[in-house]
């Protein structure tokens, strides 16, 4: 019997309103830099999987954690928008971009998200989030009015574990006091979500959205 359903966040519950390449391109334009949204999107998709896990020591204080989160994203963004070296004003550019992705200016909820969450909530199962994300996820969920659905929100940069590490899923199940065998995880990535959840002893659904 399924007692809890966990969800990945970005790509599963919500998505960017425009492509990352388009957002980066518009941000660069304010610095007088012309760029191709398609090329930026290609670089982002190419470089993102090569980044180290977005997971840090759970005992860090919030200010140090934020520093590490920003360093992680700064390294990625630099590879995407300035592969030949940072341009004048890059730090200001990056900080404004980082803040832009903090709320509903950048993100929108999928049409099927709330109906699915409402149905599951009515059925009596507990709901949670397991995401390879940074601390901004909380403000994103708040701005999209999704937070109240979830009994636990597990963020990799806080827990110290990033999917597909089975510990990511086990920690989420333990937070609700439920055996992983009675949990289901839903996510849009085969390796991180589907394979990771199965390795932790959960059931899993690979959500393959049409592009």
Reduce the secondary structure of 153-190 to three states and give it as a string.
Answer: EEEHHHHCCCCCCHHHHHHHHHHHCCCHHHEEEEECCH
> Considering the chain, what percentage of its residues have pLDDT values greater than 90?
96
103-146 pLDDT tens trace: 999 999 999 999 999 999 999 999 999 999 999 999 999 999 99
DSSP line for 31-61: TT----HHHHHHHHHHHGGGSPPS---TT--
Q: Are residues 177 and 201 located together in one domain of the fold?
A: yes
Bridge partners, residue 186, by sequence: 7, 205
**Average pLDDT estimate for 6-23:** 97
The pLDDT value recorded for residue 86 is: 87
CA distance 96 to 114: 30
User: Which residue, 27, 25, 17, 30, is CA-closest to 41?
Assistant: 25
pLDDT above 70 coverage of the chain, percent:
100
Identify whether the C-beta of residue 23 lies closer than 8 Å to the C-beta of residue 106.
yes
Is a pLDDT exceeding 90 seen at residue 84? no
Is pLDDT at 42 greater than 80 in this prediction?
yes
Please tell me whether residues 166 and 198 are part of one structural domain. yes
Count of structural domains, the chain: 2
Q: Are 100 and 106 in contact (CB under 8 A)?
A: yes
Task: Look at residue 211 and tell me if it is in a domain.
Answer: no
Is position 115 within any domain? yes
The pLDDT confidence band at residue 210, using thresholds 50, 70 and 90, is confident
Domain range for 79 is 18-100
Domain end: 39, 67, 100, which one? 100
Residue 195 shares a structural domain with residue 128 = yes
**Average of per-residue pLDDT across 67-82:** 96
120 within domain boundaries: yes
Same domain as 189, residue 156: yes
Co-location of 42 and 86 in the same domain: yes
Domain boundary among 66, 81, 100: 100
Residue 209 reports pLDDT greater than 90: no
- pLDDT(61) > 90: yes
Mean pLDDT of 159-187: 97
- Average pLDDT score over the chain: 96
Residue ending a domain, among 51, 82, 100, is 100
Question: Do 74 and 123 belong together in one domain?
Answer: no
* CATH value at residue 40: 1.10.150
Is there a single domain that holds both residue 113 and residue 188?
Answer: yes
Instruction: Assess whether 145 and 202 both reside in one domain.
Output: yes
* Domain membership flag for residue 25: yes
Q: What is the pLDDT of residue 211?
A: 63
The tally of CA atoms less than 13 A away on the side-chain side of residue 26 is 9
Q: Are residues 134 and 73 in the same domain?
A: no
Which of 200, 151, 199, 157 minimizes the C-alpha distance to 177?
151
User: What average pLDDT score do residues 89-116 get?
Assistant: 96
* 127 in the same domain as 67: no
pLDDT at 36: 96
């Amino acid at each position: 019997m399924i007692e809890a359903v966990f969800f990945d966040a970005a790509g599963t519950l919500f998505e960017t309103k425009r492509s990352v390449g388009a957002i980066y391109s518009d941000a660069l334009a304010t610095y007088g830099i012309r760029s191709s949204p398609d090329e930026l999107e290609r670089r982002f998709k190419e470089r993102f999987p090569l980044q180290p896990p977005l997971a840090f020591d759970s005992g860090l204080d919030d200010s140090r954690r934020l520093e590490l989160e920003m360093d992680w994203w700064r390294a990625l963004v630099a590879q995407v928008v300035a592969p030949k070296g940072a341009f004048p004003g890059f730090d200001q550019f990056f900080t404004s971009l980082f803040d832009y992705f903090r709320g509903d200016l950048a993100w929108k909820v999928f049409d099927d998200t709330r109906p699915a969450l409402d149905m599951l909530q009515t059925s009596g199962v507990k709901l949670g989030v397991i995401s390879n994300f940074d601390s901004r996820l909380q403000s994103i969920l708040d701005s999209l009015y999704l937070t109240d659905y979830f009994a636990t929100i597990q963020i990799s940069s806080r827990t110290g574990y990033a999917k597909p590490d089975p510990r990511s899923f086990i920690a989420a199940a333990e937070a609700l006091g439920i055996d992983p065998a009675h949990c289901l995880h839903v996510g849009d990535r085969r390796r991180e979500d589907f394979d990771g959840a199965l390795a932790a002893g959960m059931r899993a659904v690979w959500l393959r959205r049409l592009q």
